Amino acid sequence: MTSRVYLSSCEDYSKEKTERAVREALDAFGGAAALAGGKRVLIKANLLMSCTPDKAVTTHPNIVEALAREFISAGCTVEIADSCGGMYTEEILNKLYATSGMKRVAENTGAVLNYDTSSFELDIKDGVRIKKAQIISPLKRADFVVSAAKMKTHGFAYYTGAVKNMFGTIPGLTKAVMHSRFPDKRAFCEMLVDLCEGVRPDFSIIDGVVGMEGAGPSGGKPKTVGVIVASDNPYAADATAIDIMGLERKKSPVHVEGVRRGLVGDIELCGAPIEDFYTSFEPAYKKESVTILRLLPGAARSYIERFFAAYPKIEKNKCIGCGECARSCPEHTIAIKDKKADINYKKCIRCYCCQEMCPVHAVKIQRFVKYRKK
Ligand code: SF4
Ligand code: SF4
């Protein structure tokens, strides 16, 4: 199996450059009209949390705007949606769209922002970990889905891009339930592949104009790469992004599972030369796993690795006691005491949702923590 991946050079987020780069990427696959002319297009952006675009947490609004313009010009209706981390309510969506720049996108293009917080059950008949998933209603209305992802490192999944972006189709706190059901990283990532196969994004575009390195997906540093990665195969787009970031494909459990299922094989690169973009992203954790564990068979390795997994640690001097981590924690193992977050490590499954959702980056992930027995 050979998949095509197109690389567009895009030095910054100016309107002219993003419009040119996105148009080039779509044209490489026949153009918006041939791909989706007249259809109901859903742009599933990565809107993890309420952050301004300069933080590099969310898909940049000018990329989403360029996509919306192309599809609307092709006679499509365009809806923009995501279920952010934490709660999924109309009020939270309103704030999310305002802060991330999506409101402006809707005003400028005529795209519709989703405020419908209902969900439906999606059948995933060939799923390995899940055969059904509750997902947000805009997916039911759409007949062409675009995964508009952000190029970032990820504490739990190593890397996040086009495939992991589909996790945001699971509504609100149901995402925490998934973390509880699949505390093991490999099992969780197999579930992500099931979900991506169930949703089947028709087109994927990864915003790597400015990505995120270090403590991704929300607490890392912006890193300029100047590229947009596009493909009709989300796994191929991700593999290419991982290469560009100087990360290792074999450390991405989503990629490994995609290969195992035959969802990605050879990649035909086109557009700008990949050599123009090669860089070196600092991973979320420098030491991913204890080397000797790699010699163990899969199930035993997963089991033992959990004992070696890094822990979240609250930096009390930074914590503002907002409780966002406690609301996001799938194991309900965080309490707010004296206006500071406090983790009961006995129940912690090291999913790092608390780190993802902390608005002030007061949760650090480290190999060993001292903790009191509760
Ligand atoms: S404390 Fe943090 S890492 Fe541990 S289970 Fe809760 S959200 Fe996950
Ligand atoms: S650790 Fe972060 S999310 Fe949790 S209460 Fe403190 S500031 Fe809020």
Asked whether 185 and 325 are in contact (CB, 8 A), the reply is no
Answer yes or no: is pLDDT of 134 > 80: yes
CATH 3.30.2130.10 assigned to 2-276: no
Please count the residues of the chain: 374
Give the number of whichever ligand sits closest to the CA of residue 362. 2
Question: If you average pLDDT over every residue of the chain, what do you get?
Answer: 93
> Directed axis angle between helix 174-181 and helix 185-199, to 10°?
130
Both tokens of residue 301? 């390795």
The label of the residue with tokens 């450059």 reads: 17
Please work out whether the CB of residue 159 comes within 6 Å of at least one atom of ligand 1.
no
Neighbouring C-beta atoms of residue 332, cutoff 10 Å: 12
Confidence bin at 136 (pLDDT 50/70/90): very high
Asked if the bond preceding 171 is cis, omega within 30° of 0, the reply is no
3-state SS, residue 251: helix
Average pLDDT value for residue range 174-195: 95
Asked whether 107 and 68 are in contact (CB, 8 A), the reply is no
Q: How far is the CA of 235 from the centre of ligand 1 (A)?
A: 28
The residue that leads in pLDDT, 374 or 158, is 158
Asked whether 42 and 79 are in contact (CB, 8 A), the reply is yes
Please work out whether the CB of residue 129 comes within 6 Å of at least one atom of ligand 1.
no
Looking from the CA of residue 326, the nearest atom of ligand 2 is 4
Q: How many CA atoms lie within 13 A of 237 on its CB side?
A: 32
Q: How far is the CA of 346 from the centre of ligand 2 (A)?
A: 19
Average pLDDT value for residue range 199-205: 98
Compute the distance between CA of residue 314 and CA of residue 220 in angstroms, rounded to an integer: 16
At 300 the pLDDT is: 64
Exposed/middle/buried for residue 298 (C-beta within 10 Å: 0-12, 13-18, 19+): exposed
Considering the chain, what percentage of its residues have pLDDT values greater than 90?
A: 89
| Residue with CA at minimum distance from ligand 1 atom 5 | 348
Give the number of whichever ligand sits closest to the CA of residue 324. 2
Domain ranges of the chain: 2-276, 310-374
| Residue with CA at minimum distance from ligand 1 atom 7 | 329
- pLDDT tens digits along 266-306: 999 999 999 999 999 999 976 545 555 556 666 666 666 66
At 287 the pLDDT is: 56
* H/E run at residue 6: strand 2-9
At 86 the pLDDT is: 86
Asked whether 104 and 52 are in contact (CB, 8 A), the reply is no
| Residue with CA at minimum distance from ligand 1 atom 2 | 354
- pLDDT tens digits along 19-46: 999 999 999 999 999 999 999 999 999 9
82-96, 166-180, 254-268, 285-299: which has the minimum mean pLDDT?
Answer: 285-299
Confidence bin at 182 (pLDDT 50/70/90): very high
| Residue with CA at minimum distance from ligand 2 atom 2 | 358
41-45, 69-73, 126-130, 287-291: which has the minimum mean pLDDT?
Answer: 287-291
Q: Which residues pair with 132 in a beta bridge?
A: 123
Give residue 351's region: left, alpha or beta (phi > 0; psi -120 to 50): alpha
Give the number of whichever ligand sits closest to the CA of residue 310. 1
Average pLDDT value for residue range 61-89: 96
At 232 the pLDDT is: 98
Confidence bin at 374 (pLDDT 50/70/90): very low
- 328 vs 49, 52, 137, CA distance in Å? 12, 21, 22
- pLDDT tens digits along 348-360: 998 999 999 999 9
Same CATH topology for 2-276 and 310-374: the answer is: no
3-state SS, residue 356: helix
3-state SS, residue 86: coil
The CATH number for 310-374, chosen from 3.90.245.10, 3.30.70.20, 1.10.10.60, 3.30.70.2750, is 3.30.70.20
- pLDDT tens digits along 146-160: 999 999 999 999 999
Eight-state DSSP code of residue 157: T
At 79 the pLDDT is: 98
Question: What's the predicted TM-score (pTM) here?
Answer: 0.92
- pLDDT tens digits along 220-272: 999 999 999 999 999 999 999 999 999 999 999 999 999 999 999 999 999 99
DSSP string, 20-62: HHHHHHHHTTT-HHHHHTTSEEEEEE---SS--GGGSSS--HH
The residue that leads in pLDDT, 297 or 51, is 51
C-alpha dihedral sign at 160, 62, 362, 171: negative
* H/E run at residue 341: strand 340-343
Compute the distance between CA of residue 205 and CA of residue 25 in angstroms, rounded to an integer: 8
Please work out whether the CB of residue 312 comes within 6 Å of at least one atom of ligand 1.
yes
Answer yes or no: is pLDDT of 53 > 60: yes
Compute the distance between CA of residue 302 and CA of residue 186 in angstroms, rounded to an integer: 7
Average pLDDT value for residue range 193-200: 98
Both tokens of residue 87? 């709660």
Q: How far is the CA of 334 from the centre of ligand 2 (A)?
A: 10
Asked whether 272 and 227 are in contact (CB, 8 A), the reply is yes
